Amino acid sequence: MEFGPNSGNFGTISSRSQLSSQLDNLSRRHNNQQRPASKKYSILICTDFAFPKFGGVETHGYQLGQCLIERGHKVCFVTNKFQDSRCGVRYMANGMKVYHLPHLPVLQGDVAFLSFFSSLPLIREILIKEHVDIVHGHQSTSVLQHCVMLAAKSYGLKTVFTEHSLFGFNDLSGIHINKLITWSFRDLDAAICVSHACKDNFVLRAKYDPTKTFTIPNAVDSQKFTPDASIREREIAKSGNPDQINIVFISRLEYRKGVDLLIGIIPKILAQFDNVHFIIGGDGTGKVHLQELVEKHNLHGRVELLGGLPHDKVRDVLCRGHIFLNTSLTESFCIAILEAVCCGLLVVTTDVGGIPEVLPPHMAYLGKPEERSILRQLKKAVLNVKKIPCDDFYNTVADIYSWRQVAERTEKVYDFVMDQPVPNIMSRIKSSFSWGPVVGLFSLLFTIIEAITLCITEKLFPECDIDIARNFDSNRYNKDQELYGAHEVYVNTDHVRHKTKTAKLVEFNFEEVSMLKRNEKEQIQGFDHTLRYFT
C-alpha cells in the first residue's frame, strides 16, 4: 500500500461536487488496493480496556491479537493512557505494538467523547503509519473505540466491532448507550458477539443487520489454567479435615456480580455443612459487607478473604477448590467458569445471559439468580462433587474453547468485510437524515465537521511527511531471538548490578540536534525524563 506525496493534496475546492469527489477518492483509497493471495491484513484493535488493566475484554483482545500474529497478520493496539503515567508506544509479546494516546482527557478511566476532533490527526497518523486495513473495536462502553472507528470510517477503512456485555432497555444508562451505538455503528461493516444471547441483545439495541452479526465465543488459555490435584491435597492436609470441601468465588465484588446473593448464601451453607470452607478473591464495594458478615457470624476460620488477585495467582487459587461459585446477575459470556472447569472444579452458577450456552449440564449446575435456587444447586454440588471426575473436564474444554479457533473464525469475518463496499461521504450525509429531527441534525453536523477536519488535517499534515512503521517479523524473532538483542531483565541490586551497563547521559541543545538530523548518517536515540520514546 503506497502513500504518495499528492495523496492528501486537495488543492483549491470551488464547488460542492469537487469536495464530494475529493472525499470519495480519499475514502476509496484503501478499498482499491489489491489484496495479496494470502490475505494478510494489518489490524488495529482499539478499546479503553487493554492490558495492563485486567478483565475479560482485556484478555480477549490480547489473546486474539497474539493468535492473529501467529497466523501472519499484523496487529496493533490503540488505548488510552494508563494511570496518567503510561503513554506513547509500548511493545508486547511477538512485537504487538500498543499506542497509549497521551493527550486525551481521561474521566474515570474512559476517554471524553468531545476529544474526537482534537485526536483525529493523531489517530489518522497511526492509521497511515501502520498501513491499517481493518479497525476492530471492542466493548460499546469504550468511548475511545467509538472515536477511532468513526475516524477510520471517514478515512475509508473497514470496521469490525465485538460486543462483550448485555445492556437493558429501560434504565437510563442503557437508553443512552443504545442511542449512541445506533448512531455510531450506522456504517459498521460487521459485528461480533460472544454468545447468541449477546447477539440478540445487540441486534435489538443497535438496530443492526443480523446478517452482518456473527457469534464467536470467548476461549480460555488452556496452557495456563491446568488442573493440579496436589495443591488441593495440600490444602486439605493443612486443614486437618479430610472431608473438607472448598468453594471458590473469584470476581469483582460489585452488585452486578451478585455479591448480595453471595452474602445471603454464605451463612446458610456454612450452617448446613460443617466441612465447607469459602475462598473469596476479588475487590470492590462489596468487600466491606463481606468483612462485616465474617465479623457478625464469627466466620474467620471458614471464610478466607484474599482481596484483589493478580492474574498470575488466579490459577493457584482455583486449584485449591472443589466448587466454583458464580452469582452474576448479568453475563454475556463468563470466562471465569471456563478457567475454573479447566482447573478441575465443578461450577455452580446463575443461568443469566449467555451462561447456559457455555458448559454442558454435567460440568455446571445452573440456578436462577435467586438465593433459594442457588442454595439448592450449591447443596447438590457439595454432596456430589467428590463423586464426579472433575479433573477430566480439562481435555474437553481445552478442545472446544481455543483462542486459535477464535482467531480463525474472526479471520473469516475480516474476509467478509473486505468484500463490502465503502460508503462515500454523500451517502453518509444522506443517512444522517434518517435519525430524526434532533439526532439527525446532530449526525449531519458531525459528519460535515468530520469531513472538513479531515480535509484540513490532510492539507496541514500530508501523508508524505508521515514515517511508515516497519513490520515486525514475529516468525524470524521466534526462530532466532538473539538477533534482536539481549532480553534478560536484571533487578537493580548489588549482586547483579555488575551485569548491567551504566547508562550514559548525553545532553543536546536544539542547534546540535538540528545539525545531526541534517546528516543522514547520524541518528539520535534516547529517552526523555517522562519515559516516552523519541528518535
Measured between alpha carbons, how far is 248 from 230 in angstroms, rounded to an integer? 17
Measured between alpha carbons, how far is 154 from 156 in angstroms, rounded to an integer? 5
Q: What is residue 380's predicted lDDT score, i.e. its pLDDT?
A: 92
Q: Which of 84-93, 363-372, 402-411, 433-442 has the lowest mean pLDDT?
A: 433-442
Q: What is the mean pLDDT of residues 146-164?
A: 88
Q: What is residue 183's predicted lDDT score, i.e. its pLDDT?
A: 82
Percent residues over pLDDT 70 in the chain: 78
**Which residues are within 8 A (CB) of 15 and not within 5 positions of it... i.e. 6 or more apart?**
none
Q: What is the mean pLDDT of residues 354-381?
A: 92
Grid coordinates standing for 191? 459485528
Three-class DSSP category at 419: coil
Residue 113 has pLDDT above 70, yes or no: no
Q: What is the mean pLDDT of residues 250-269?
A: 90
pLDDT 10s digits, 157-171: 899 999 998 888 888
- Among candidate residues 385, 401, 417, the one where a domain is terminated: 401
Residues 46 and 188 in one domain: yes
Element (H, E) at 367: strand 364-367
Q: What is residue 486's predicted lDDT score, i.e. its pLDDT?
A: 54
Radius of gyration of the chain (CA): 26
Q: Which of 236-240, 257-261, 287-291 has the lowest mean pLDDT?
A: 236-240
Check whether the bond before 102 is cis (ω within 30° of 0): no
Residues 439 and 498 in one domain: no
Residue 425 has pLDDT above 80, yes or no: no
Query: Is 103 part of a structural domain of the chain?
Result: yes
365 near 348, Cβ under 8 Å?
yes
Q: Which of 71-75, 387-391, 409-413, 446-450 has the lowest mean pLDDT?
A: 446-450
Q: What is the mean pLDDT of residues 244-263?
A: 91
Q: What is residue 14's predicted lDDT score, i.e. its pLDDT?
A: 37
Q: What is the mean pLDDT of residues 403-413?
A: 93
Query: Is 319 part of a structural domain of the chain?
Result: yes
Residues 383 and 234 in one domain: yes
Residue 36 has pLDDT above 60, yes or no: no
Strands (E), 33-73: 42-46
Residues 440 and 528 in one domain: no
335 near 59, Cβ under 8 Å?
yes
Residue 246 has pLDDT above 70, yes or no: yes
Residue 52 has pLDDT above 50, yes or no: yes
Residue 513 has pLDDT above 70, yes or no: no
Strands (E), 131-238: 134-138, 158-163, 190-193, 213-215
Grid coordinates standing for 340? 475454573
Q: What is residue 108's predicted lDDT score, i.e. its pLDDT?
A: 53
**Which residues are within 8 A (CB) of 123 and not within 5 positions of it... i.e. 6 or more apart?**
78, 147, 148, 151, 152
Residue 499 has pLDDT above 70, yes or no: no
Of the candidates 160, 104, 111, the residue with the CA atom closest to the CA atom of residue 135: 160
Three-class DSSP category at 527: strand
Across the chain, mean pLDDT equals: 78
Residue 82 has pLDDT above 50, yes or no: yes
267 exposure class (CB count in 10 Å sphere: 0-12, 13-18, 19+) = middle
Residue 119 has pLDDT above 50, yes or no: yes
Strands (E), 292-363: 303-307, 323-326, 346-350
Residue 273 has pLDDT above 60, yes or no: yes
Element (H, E) at 98: strand 97-101
Measured between alpha carbons, how far is 52 from 58 in angstroms, rounded to an integer? 8
Query: Is 118 part of a structural domain of the chain?
Result: yes
Residues 62 and 81 in one domain: yes
Q: Which residue has the higher pLDDT, 524 or 426?
A: 426
Residues 311 and 266 in one domain: yes
Of the candidates 383, 454, 389, the residue with the CA atom closest to the CA atom of residue 13: 454
Query: Is 6 part of a structural domain of the chain?
Result: no
Query: Is 481 part of a structural domain of the chain?
Result: no
Query: Is 166 part of a structural domain of the chain?
Result: yes
Q: What is the mean pLDDT of residues 286-291?
A: 90
Per-residue pLDDT band at 79 (split at 50, 70, 90): confident
Query: Is 370 part of a structural domain of the chain?
Result: yes
Measured between alpha carbons, how far is 118 from 96 in angstroms, rounded to an integer? 26
Residues 81 and 137 in one domain: yes
Q: Which of 335-339, 490-494, 511-515 has the lowest mean pLDDT?
A: 490-494
Q: What is the mean pLDDT of residues 13-28?
A: 41
438 near 179, Cβ under 8 Å?
no
Residues 212 and 359 in one domain: no
Q: What is residue 515's predicted lDDT score, i.e. its pLDDT?
A: 54
- Among candidate residues 379, 401, 423, the one where a domain is terminated: 401
Measured between alpha carbons, how far is 349 from 364 in angstroms, rounded to an integer? 7
Q: What is residue 511's predicted lDDT score, i.e. its pLDDT?
A: 52
Residues 100 and 203 in one domain: yes
Positive/negative CA dihedral, 113, 114, 115, 120: positive
**Which residues are within 8 A (CB) of 190 and not within 5 positions of it... i.e. 6 or more apart?**
160, 161, 212, 213, 214, 413, 416, 417, 420
Question: Residue 148 is part of which domain span?
Answer: 24-29+41-219+404-465
What is the phi/psi pair of residue 109, to 5°?
95, -15
Q: What is residue 341's predicted lDDT score, i.e. its pLDDT?
A: 92
Q: How far is CA 464 from CA 6, 76, 130, 460, 518, in A?
A: 8, 22, 14, 11, 18
pLDDT 10s digits, 426-438: 777 777 766 667 7
Q: What is the mean pLDDT of residues 224-239?
A: 87
Per-residue pLDDT band at 521 (split at 50, 70, 90): very low
Q: What 8-state DSSP symbol labels residue 72?
A: T
Which CATH number is 292's domain given?
3.40.50.2000
Per-residue pLDDT band at 154 (split at 50, 70, 90): confident
Q: What is residue 371's predicted lDDT score, i.e. its pLDDT?
A: 92
Per-residue pLDDT band at 38 (split at 50, 70, 90): low
Amino acid at the residue 191? A
Q: What is residue 375's predicted lDDT score, i.e. its pLDDT?
A: 94
Measured between alpha carbons, how far is 236 from 253 in angstroms, rounded to an integer? 26
Q: What is residue 484's predicted lDDT score, i.e. its pLDDT?
A: 65
CA angle 129, 119, 432 (to 5 degrees): 105
Residues 254 and 335 in one domain: yes
Q: What is residue 19's predicted lDDT score, i.e. its pLDDT?
A: 37
Residues 171 and 299 in one domain: no
Q: Which residue has the higher pLDDT, 230 or 16?
A: 230
Q: What is residue 104's predicted lDDT score, i.e. its pLDDT?
A: 56
Residue 464 has pLDDT above 70, yes or no: yes
Q: What is residue 406's predicted lDDT score, i.e. its pLDDT?
A: 93
Residues 82 and 133 in one domain: yes
Grid coordinates standing for 520? 543522514
Q: Which of 251-260, 432-441, 506-515 has the lowest mean pLDDT?
A: 506-515
43 near 414, Cβ under 8 Å?
yes
Q: In the chain, how many domains are there?
A: 3
Per-residue pLDDT band at 487 (split at 50, 70, 90): low
Query: Is 11 part of a structural domain of the chain?
Result: no
Q: How far is CA 187 from CA 15, 133, 193, 313, 447, in A?
A: 26, 16, 17, 42, 12
Q: What is residue 475's predicted lDDT score, i.e. its pLDDT?
A: 72
Q: What is residue 533's predicted lDDT score, i.e. its pLDDT?
A: 31
Q: What 8-state DSSP symbol labels residue 84?
A: T
Residue 390 has pLDDT above 70, yes or no: yes
- Among candidate residues 401, 432, 448, the one where a domain is terminated: 401
Residue 400 has pLDDT above 60, yes or no: yes
Q: What is the mean pLDDT of residues 263-285?
A: 91
